[in-house]
Amino acid sequence: MSLVPFGFWAASGAGGGGGVAGYFGGGWDGSYVATVDKFAFPSDSRTTLGTGLSSARYDLAGMADSGVAGYFAGGYDGSSASTVDKFAFPADSRTTLGTGLSSGTYGLAGMADSGVAGYFGGGVAAAITANVDKFAFPSDSRTTLGTGLSVARYGVAGMANPSVAGYFGGGNASGSTVDKFAFPSDSRTTLATGLSSARREPAGMADSGVAGYFGGGTGPVSTVDKFAFPSDSRSTLATGLSSARYDLAAMADSGIAGYFGGGGSYVATVDKFAFPSDSRTTLGTGLSSARRELAGMADGGL
């Protein structure tokens, strides 16, 4: 795949904890998408926000400060965007941060330590980057970590175990690598056991305190890898995604279920994995339009 703006990269962030709603935003359905679809927990009923993203774009990333606000950052809207849109919970009113990403970036990933800070890492800026930007809650002030990803890469996915650590997995340059950032020090280690196969454009979500998941990716594959907390031991689910796909997004209702939506050759499919059994069902109501290169985040209601 060439490094051109019409890339095939998606990222996601997962929020958790006793849940209110999950959101899938942006993407590409043949044109740039500003739509944000909202799935109410636990019914999984879908509505589409009256106010979408501030600009239609794909290859963006999401993360959330559960109970407070969710964020969609970066992407491509005709140029590399540094925009960070913030959706206040539960009203879903949108503002755009005065301070965006440290540079216009697409193909990045997001994850968050709810109540403390959110992180956006990797992607393509002026070049492929290892950069990780940190946004402190609730001020949204931005700093850039002195230690970024272990290798510059795009098509990476993110997920987090709040109060413990956040993870960035997969990507183009070292596609099975999983980097772990300890909270609150942000010190980075790289897991001895990475993804079960090297791939880019997977999606990540987590059941806080229990396990994190990386699903899909180039191949394409239907694989879902599970990393148990706090040991980070990896297993691969016997039942993967309902179809092999990349460029998807993910989010989670911690303690209840995780969701993988969109991707591939323009699908509206949303697969739901029940916690802790990891049994999979596919929602009768998927995304409002079939699309890829979208992002996810969730309000865990904390």
pLDDT tens digits, 202-240: 999 999 999 999 999 999 999 999 999 999 999 999 999
278 pLDDT exceeds 70?
A: yes
DSSP symbol at 79: S
Q: What is the pLDDT of residue 19?
A: 86
Residue 302 banded pLDDT, cuts 50, 70, 90:
low
| C-alpha to C-alpha distance for 204 and 32, rounded to whole angstroms | 23
Residue 8 banded pLDDT, cuts 50, 70, 90:
very low
Q: What is the pLDDT of residue 235?
A: 98
84 pLDDT exceeds 50?
A: yes
21-299 CATH, one of 2.120.10.80, 3.40.47.10, 3.30.360.10, 1.10.357.10: 2.120.10.80
| C-alpha to C-alpha distance for 134 and 200, rounded to whole angstroms | 23
Strands of 142-144's sheet in order across: 109-113, 117-121, 132-136, 142-144
Per-residue pLDDT tens digits for 242-262: 999 999 999 999 999 999 999
Query: Average pLDDT over the chain, rounded to whole?
Result: 93
Q: What is the pLDDT of residue 6?
A: 32
Q: Which of 215, 195, 264, 153 is nearest to 14 (CA)?
A: 215
- For the chain, percent of residues with pLDDT exceeding 90: 91
Query: What is the average pLDDT across 52-67?
Result: 97
Query: What is the average pLDDT across 141-149?
Result: 97
12 pLDDT exceeds 60?
A: no
Residue 18 banded pLDDT, cuts 50, 70, 90:
low
Per-residue pLDDT tens digits for 156-203: 999 999 999 999 999 998 789 999 999 999 999 999 999 999 999 999
Q: What is the pLDDT of residue 15?
A: 37
**DSSP symbols for 127-191:** SB---EEEEETTT--EEE-SS--SS--SS-EEEEETTTEEEEE--SSSTT-EEEEETTT--EEE-
1 pLDDT exceeds 50?
A: no
Residue 300 banded pLDDT, cuts 50, 70, 90:
confident
Strands of 93-96's sheet in order across: 61-65, 69-73, 84-88, 93-96
Q: What is the pLDDT of residue 3?
A: 38
- Cis before 184 (ω within 30): yes
59 pLDDT exceeds 70?
A: yes
Whole-Å CA distances, 126 to 9, 53, 302: 16, 23, 37
As beta bridge partners, residue 39 has 22, 46
| C-alpha to C-alpha distance for 64 and 40, rounded to whole angstroms | 16
Instruction: Give 296 or 10, the one with higher predicted confidence.
Output: 296
Sequence spans of domains, the chain: 21-299
Query: What is the average pLDDT across 36-45?
Result: 97
